[in-house]
Amino acid sequence: MKLLEHPERQMQIVLVRPEGDANIGAVCRAMKTMGFTSLVLVRPDGREPDKEIVRTWSLSAYDVFEEASLYASLADALADSSFSVGFTRRTGSRRRTRFYDLEEIAPGIIRRVLESGELISLVFGNEQSGLDSEELALCSAAASIESHFAFPSLNLSHAVQIVCYSLRRALMGAASGTPGDPGITRREAETVAENITEELRTIGFFTLADSTWLRNFFRDLVERAGLNSRESEYLKSLFEKIRNLKLHRPE
Amino acid sequence: MKLLEHPERQMQIVLVRPEGDANIGAVCRAMKTMGFTSLVLVRPDGREPDKEIVRTWSLSAYDVFEEASLYASLADALADSSFSVGFTRRTGSRRRTRFYDLEEIAPGIIRRVLESGELISLVFGNEQSGLDSEELALCSAAASIESHFAFPSLNLSHAVQIVCYSLRRALMGAASGTPGDPGITRREAETVAENITEELRTIGFFTLADSTWLRNFFRDLVERAGLNSRESEYLKSLFEKIRNLKLHRPE
């Protein structure tokens, strides 16, 4: 596998006929929070966005806008891409080929980026009308974002946010194991439960009752709550402290 | 399995000290695109949002705002929840217990909603400062949204959008499970934790240490594990028994 230092740069966000310059700024911010920095704007009229409005909405992601490219047509914008995905609501009427679900297509996109360093375009339509059928026909594939039938109308920057988040997760998952702070294992949970049981036995807790139920109760408690090792150490130490109180302090 | 006609209604989005009324509108829209309709606002000053601003930003999701509740404190807002998740950046300094990743905690949330119809709170902090440590301590669990280290600052409504999207996917993916045995509510969890703290205080546990951390630890333990009332009674009785041992049995 080719080592890509910045795989996110191989995925460009393409906004087709975006109307609101505030939306462009919000898209910059949404992208950058997920590590994406390549933005392409398609405006047939060639209109430059109002820099101050974009700055207000992009905050520290204004550099994404400064590095953005402006094209007059989607065809031009896609010229260097190996693969392009047009995001649209699943209407069925505007495209006769299959619609992918975002989550379904994300791992394949990441694989292409990581394995062959291809440039991939993620294409979003106009705020009001989305991608029209010609624009969608220019894309290699169509995909939709899972949403509720009653009100599926995602704001542009929110749609970009979800797509970048999904791709980032796919990228992290592909890159290697996932982040730290795992819950403890079954073996460790057994040990915690066993230790607690022993402390309680020492202070005379089990005069009558069997200890099995209590031990399993604590094991399950620890597992169900998903304690990490620091938390389970704390729980163990609490019972050690109780035992010491019982044995050493005068009444 | 209890048939929940609208499982999304069992998950409420709680905005703590939101400043911008435009953000509240954008949150309504983000929620509704994913089928979520229960919104709770926490504003200590009791300030009502500007309806026209909210309307402009929520579009056809204005009904979410009309049905929203306004509370003066987060504690009041969480009173009827069985489980609450505070979303925050993974700083490590503000909370001593484990941070979940959104994707890791989402299936468990959906399971609790579907299996026992529990009310779950998803808690988001102020736009600038996020959740402070006291607010985070009121939540049963802390979770973070995967983001890029260089600019992890998600806009409030974008964070809500991702969380609702993730939960919606988990909901769609959830297979039908087994009949309900609901976890206890926040109010009951507080009582369990308070009782345990009191039993330990009686036997001289808190000679030096402050009891707040321990009380919160047990409250979260009980909520994260999703104990039902029988289990939480058992846990309480265990500490009663310890206290009796300490006070009445000869050494």
- DSSP per residue over B6-63, as a string? -GGGGEEEEEES---HHHHHHHHHHHHHTT---EEEE-TT-PPP-HHHHHHHHGGGHH
CA-nearest residue to B36 within chain A is A148
If residue A135 lies in a helix (H) or strand (E), which one and from where to where? helix A133-138
Confidence check: pLDDT of A27 > 80: yes
Confidence check: pLDDT of B92 > 70: no
| A217–B155 C-beta distance less than 8 A | no
- The half-sphere exposure of B54 on its side-chain side, counting CA atoms within 13 A, is 18
**Using CB atoms and an 8 Å cut-off, which of residues 153-212 of chain A contact chain B?**
153-155, 157-158, 161-162, 165, 168-169, 172, 178-179, 181, 183, 200, 203-205
Question: In the predicted model, what is the mean pLDDT of chain B?
Answer: 86
**pLDDT given for residue A211 in this prediction:** 77
ipTM of the complex: 0.78
Cβ contacts of residue B147 below 8 Å, gap of 6+? A33, A34, A168, B89, B154
CA-to-CA distance for B243 and B248, rounded, in angstroms? 8
What proportion of chain B, given as a percentage, has pLDDT over 70?
88
Of B148, B150, B161, the CB nearest to A158: B161
Confidence check: pLDDT of A178 > 50: no
Domains delineated in chain B: 7-173 (3.40.1280.10), 186-248 (no CATH)
Helix (H, G, I), strand (E, B) or coil at B177: coil
What order of strands is seen across the sheet that includes strand A99-101? A69-71, A38-42, A11-16, A120-124, A83-87, A141-144, A99-101
CA-to-CA distance for B122 and B87, rounded, in angstroms? 7
pLDDT digits (tens, 9 = 90+) for A76-85: 999 988 889 9
**pLDDT given for residue A117 in this prediction:** 80
Question: In the predicted model, what is the mean pLDDT of chain A?
Answer: 85
Q: Which of the four pLDDT bands, split at 50, 70 and 90, describes residue A197?
A: confident
Question: Is some CB atom of chain B closer than 8 A to the CB atom of A90?
Answer: no
Question: Is some CB atom of chain B closer than 8 A to the CB atom of A141?
Answer: no
Question: Is some CB atom of chain A closer than 8 A to the CB atom of B75?
Answer: no
CA-nearest residue to A213 within chain B is B234
pLDDT digits (tens, 9 = 90+) for B225-249: 777 777 888 888 888 888 787 655 4
CA-to-CA distance for A144 and B32, rounded, in angstroms? 17
pLDDT digits (tens, 9 = 90+) for B22-74: 999 999 999 999 999 999 999 999 999 999 999 999 999 999 999 999 999 99
**pLDDT given for residue A154 in this prediction:** 95
Cβ contacts of residue A168 below 8 Å, gap of 6+? A8, A34, A35, A36, B146, B147, B148
Q: How far is B224 from chain A (nearest CA, A)?
A: 4
Closest CA to B85 of B114, B117, B118: B118
Closest CA to A155 of B201, B149, B217, B60: B60
CA-nearest residue to A170 within chain B is B146
